[in-house]
Amino acid sequence: MRFELIFIFIFYLLFIPGESTARNQKNTTEAAKDIVKIAPLRNPDRGFHLESNYFAHDMTNPFRKNEIFPNGFIEAREKAFDSESENLTLLQLYVYLTEWVDKDISQEGLENIQVIFDELKKHGYKAILRFAYNWKGLDASGGESEKWILRHIDQLEPLLEKNRGLIATIQIGFLGAWGEWHTTPLQNDFTAKSNIVNALLKVYPEPYSIQIRTPDHKNRLNLDNEKDKTRISYANDYFTAGEHSHAPGNDFVPGSQWYRQIERESPWFFMSGEIPYDENTEWGLAALIDPETTLRILRDHHYSAFDLTQNYQLNIKSWRNIKVYPELLVKNNILFSEDYFMDEKGNRVNRSFFNFVRDHLGYRLNLTGSSLKTKSKKLLYDLEFTNTGFAAPVNSKPVYLVFIDESNNVKREVRINADPRDWQPYDFNKQSYQPLRHRLTGDIPVDLAGKYRVGIWMPDPDKSLQYNGVYDVKWVPNKNLSQWYDNDGKYAVNIIGEVVL
């Protein structure tokens, strides 16, 4: 839930932790003495995300009218939330179409939205994108209608197509306070809601997912193509680990029908969440939620992204001082690689809850063994790997083997038959919390001569980003794998071995 920033500001000034909260903060501070930081691995379509809000008509922040784009954008958000060195790649982007609730979006408005996308690309980010009208909240109506929402989706289609590679997912939005599908004139009109969802599914096609607020909303939709239900995912805007009094009907509470439904569906789509603001109000969350329960939810619902901003001062900051270690993860059936808890000298260390979540949202690919052989101008490859993230790489990526010569030039790109969306962390059907052992094997013709390094290259499928190494998927460096970057920034390659051809 979102509340106007003036209330947040007042809360920050007045809030004093209660006795139990203070005690928890003291305990976590003491635990922090045993924590060793680990550098983040920058990857697209996954991880912690920041948040920015803009009116499309004048590029101001609805909640801070003196904050005009690019103020309040990525660099400012990174600084405000201590994340300049966290290698983040996602921004939850609220674009408010309030000015045009009952008329066409102006050309200037469309151009303003494109300016934001251009800046996303400059920063190597993608958007978790939401359009909305009502920024005022629970006691106001945005005045939105099916007619004009459908017209606006039609107007936005060329812009969404042009920038498809810069969108990690689209949150259905449009309806209600902050686009959260409540407090809307269309509250009980599921014919209109179905038409809006069908329109978005068409302009943001397979294999990408769009996010809805709750399973009840999804279950009542009438889709033009029922197969599209598999790519309607969820944005949990009230993540409280089921511990808030208002969690039922808002959060996806462990053990509930909603929880079980999302557990079944979530391996195949982009899942994200955010904790309510740390306010001592009816809808706020002014308490620390249980980290072990949080980990299990992130695992069960295959989270790819999680918000840093809304409960940053309380819960998120506390995560930096909570100790995570293998025994804790084993007890809770959370996947990890042994290498993650080793320092550069091979000593066993503890990590922070913040770092562990940061590094395991979405996918985390670990090469465990490889064999490269040459025969009759062919490369025979056999690669074994695990994914210890919470999710598969749900936004499809092509997989290539590339050959890099001794002058550091890529001489061949050969696409292999692989779909990373199948690289699940564990067997969710059996609820067997053991890492699945994945394998890539085959042979490819290579008409080359000489010594070459061989690597896995996973670029963005969008043509505008294919040769932008910032958006390439990086596997975890370990004894089996290293990373290589070209001087022009076109490639980020995961080196798996050398061959002589």
How do strand 400-404 and strand 410-415 relate by DSSP bridges?
antiparallel
Residue 173 and residue 213: Cα distance in Å, rounded? 9
pLDDT digits (tens, 9 = 90+) for 147-195: 999 999 999 999 999 999 999 999 999 999 999 999 999 999 999 999 9
Closest CA to 358 of 330, 320, 327, 312: 320
Provide the CA 215 distance to its chain's centre, in angstroms.
19
pLDDT for 18 beyond 80? no
pLDDT for 8 beyond 90? no
Query: 30: pLDDT confidence band, cut at 50, 70 and 90?
Result: low
Closest CA to 388 of 364, 369, 368: 364
Residue 331 and residue 122: Cα distance in Å, rounded? 42
pLDDT for 493 beyond 80? yes
* AA identity, residue 112: N
Q: What is the DSSP letter of 478?
A: B
pTM: 0.92
Q: Is 497 helix (H, G, I), strand (E, B) or coil?
A: strand
Q: Tell me what pLDDT residue 141 has.
A: 84
Question: For residue 70, is the peptide bond before it cis, meaning its omega torsion is within 30 degrees of 0?
Answer: yes
Residue 481 and residue 25: Cα distance in Å, rounded? 39
Are the beta carbons of 381 and 371 closer than 8 angstroms?
yes
For 407-455, the three-class secondary structure string (H helix, E strand, C coil) is: CCCEEEEEECCCCHHHCCCCECCCCECCCCCEEEEEEEECCCCCEEEEE
Please report the domains of the chain, with CATH numbers, ordered by start residue: 5-331 (3.20.20), 365-500 (2.60.40)
Residue 445 and residue 489: Cα distance in Å, rounded? 27
Residue 107 and residue 183: Cα distance in Å, rounded? 29
Residue 370 and residue 368: Cα distance in Å, rounded? 7
Closest CA to 237 of 309, 320, 139, 299: 309
Q: Is 293 helix (H, G, I), strand (E, B) or coil?
A: helix
Report the pLDDT averaged over residues 26-37: 69
Q: How many CA atoms lie within 13 A of 448 on its CB side?
A: 24
Instruction: Decide which of 3 and 252 is more confident.
Output: 252
Q: Tell me what pLDDT residue 20 has.
A: 40
What pairs with residue 439 in β-bridges?
384
